[in-house]
Amino acid sequence: MLSQDDFDYALENTRVIVPPRHRIETFGTSVVNYYLVTEEMDAANLSRVREGQIHAERPQIITPSHMARLLLEGFGEEAREYADSVAGRLRNLAILKYGFRFRKADARTYDVAEPIGKTIENVKRRVAAKDDPLSTVLAGVDDGWEVCLLRFMIDLIAASAQGNLEDFRGRGLI
């Protein structure tokens, strides 16, 4: 288990080398192919590459009235009336809920006997040749590699959210 310092170190040392060219799909599932390059700290000139997929599910609109229904299960009529009044005041508020699935079965890890900079350049070339708009190349920390992926996913949500909201508005859904 990572200490708080290790966790913070992984967050701070996650770099997106090649970002995805497309954002998360608004009305469908997106499959992001990631290539995470880390450096083995106990051996000189040894890099580790992790390849896998992150499945980003279609964002869901959560409105105040929907939240009130979810939160009030088992409450009485007075609580429901209060929640309805709050939902009425916040009717223009909408939250997007994003879901991700990461399957370790889809992941592959291999070591490369070269410095991390050279490994990153080689992975970048391979990814560019595939011309996949939802591929990303990341550099991170070996012990906290899963934290690096989480950091990337949060940044991807932030980069996608405005476009997803505009798509929902364009269809009159919010």
Q: What is the pLDDT of residues 74-117, one digit of tens each?
A: 666 776 676 667 666 655 566 777 776 755 557 899 999 999 99
> Do 41 and 106 belong to one domain?
yes
> Do 109 and 158 belong to one domain?
yes
pLDDT at position 102:
58
Give the separation between CA 153 and CA 155, rounded to whole angstroms. 5
> Do 37 and 77 belong to one domain?
no
> Do 116 and 155 belong to one domain?
yes
pLDDT at position 121:
97
Domain boundary among 97, 121, 155: 97
Torsion angle (degrees, nearest 10) of CA 57, 151, 38, 105? -30
Mean pLDDT of all residues belonging to the chain: 83
> Do 112 and 165 belong to one domain?
yes
Q: What is the pLDDT of residues 34-54, one digit of tens each?
A: 999 999 888 888 999 999 988
Residues 6+ apart with CB under 8 A from 155: 16
Domain carrying residue 133: 4-59+100-170
> Do 52 and 68 belong to one domain?
no
pLDDT at position 20:
93
> Do 8 and 55 belong to one domain?
yes
> Do 31 and 73 belong to one domain?
no
> Do 84 and 121 belong to one domain?
no
Dig out the tokens for 53 from the structure.
């997929």
Which of 5, 36, 1, 4 lies closest to 153, judged by CA? 36
Q: For strand 108-112 and strand 100-102, is the pairing parallel, antiparallel, or unpaired?
A: unpaired
> Do 108 and 79 belong to one domain?
no
> Do 92 and 137 belong to one domain?
no
> Do 68 and 122 belong to one domain?
no
pLDDT at position 38:
94
pLDDT at position 83:
66
Domain boundary among 80, 97, 114: 97
Domain count for the chain: 2
